[in-house]
Amino acid sequence: MAEQSVPVIGFVGLGVMGGPMCRNMALKHAGEVLAFDTSASAFQAVEGTKARRVASLADLAAQADIVFLSLPGGPAVEAVCLGEQGLTAGGRRPQVIVDLSTTTVASARSVAQRLETLDVQFADAPVARTREAAQRGELSIMVGARAALFARIEPLLRYIGSDVTLCGEVGCGQVVKLINNALVFENTVALAEMMVLGERAGVQPQTLLEAVSKGSGDSFVLRNHGRKAMLPRSFPDKSFSPEYVLKDISYVLELAGQTGVSVHVTELAQRYYAATAANGYSGRYFPAVIEMVDRNQGLPPAKA
């Protein structure tokens, strides 16, 4: 740790989730926090904190001991870690890179192997829960790492997460995160169908959710996506869109193919969200899938 007890933290990616995560790190960490994003407006997320903007990944790598990433997916993570202008391209490299993004399992393990040859440790630590949870520092973080590295980074992850779980070796964090997301997406489709069915059979959606929330049909999806988005039919832009859902589902299906598991429910959910993206809700909040059910919207055919 650069011969000091308190590491210098670097943070790359100040987007919807990364911005509040970096902000919490800057507010809670005793040492320096350096931030990088290609968008100047992204730094509004850390205004009023000690987070210091750096001009490039090279500048970040030259100063930071442990770098956290919050990026759109595997290709971006690979470019930032291993690209010609990435964190390992210069004379000084971070000792540890922790990826908070959602990527494929294969990508996480490949990046870790290549970084190890450069004497850089890597952990995949994708996060779950909402932007509001990120702002509160109450994310659930699923970590894939060796035990010694986990012990080193867990106190830092506690700045942004109320639940931090070591899931196994590198890649296992992504396994658990993808399963978590698939369950959320599938549950949202199931709830959408039942809300529409209940209303057409004479039960008001508010009453339905109130009653089911008191029984064994209750769920996080019902209490959050159901109450806050599907009941008022509020699906804002710049939230977690059906396109992001489809990206994560593609990762799940890739993993299922690699492990020889049939995931028919996930495949059905993929068709629902493809219809959502194609029928007026591209870029909108993904619980808009309820509109596809309400319209009796035909689904695209299953992929062969």
pLDDT recorded at residue 5: 77
* CATH H superfamily, domain 9-168: NAD(P)-binding Rossmann-like Domain (3.40.50.720)
Kindly report the three-state secondary structure assignment for every residue of 158-176: CCCEEEEEEEECCCHHHHH
Chain segment 124-143, per-residue pLDDT in tens:
999 999 889 999 999 999 99
Mean of the per-residue pLDDT values for the chain? 96
pLDDT recorded at residue 294: 98
pTM of the model: 0.92
pLDDT recorded at residue 1: 40
pLDDT recorded at residue 296: 95
State the DSSP code for 83: S
pLDDT recorded at residue 239: 84
HSE toward the beta carbon, residue 31, CA cutoff 13 A? 15
Residue identified by tokens 């698939």 is 182
pLDDT recorded at residue 205: 98
Domain ranges of the chain: 9-168, 175-294
Q: Does domain 175-294 have CATH number 1.10.10.10?
A: no
Confirm if 68 and 21 have CB atoms less than 8 A apart: yes
Write out the two tokens for 296.
């009796």
Please determine whether the domains at 9-168 and 175-294 fall in the same fold group of CATH. Answer: no
pLDDT recorded at residue 2: 42
Confirm if 159 and 24 have CB atoms less than 8 A apart: yes
pLDDT along the chain (304 residues), means of 10: 74 96 98 97 97 98 98 96 97 97 97 98 95 96 98 98 98 97 98 98 98 97 97 93 96 97 98 98 97 95 80
Residue identified by tokens 């995560």 is 21
pLDDT recorded at residue 9: 98
pLDDT recorded at residue 302: 85
Chain segment 49-94, per-residue pLDDT in tens:
999 999 999 999 999 999 999 999 999 999 999 999 999 999 999 9
pLDDT recorded at residue 304: 65
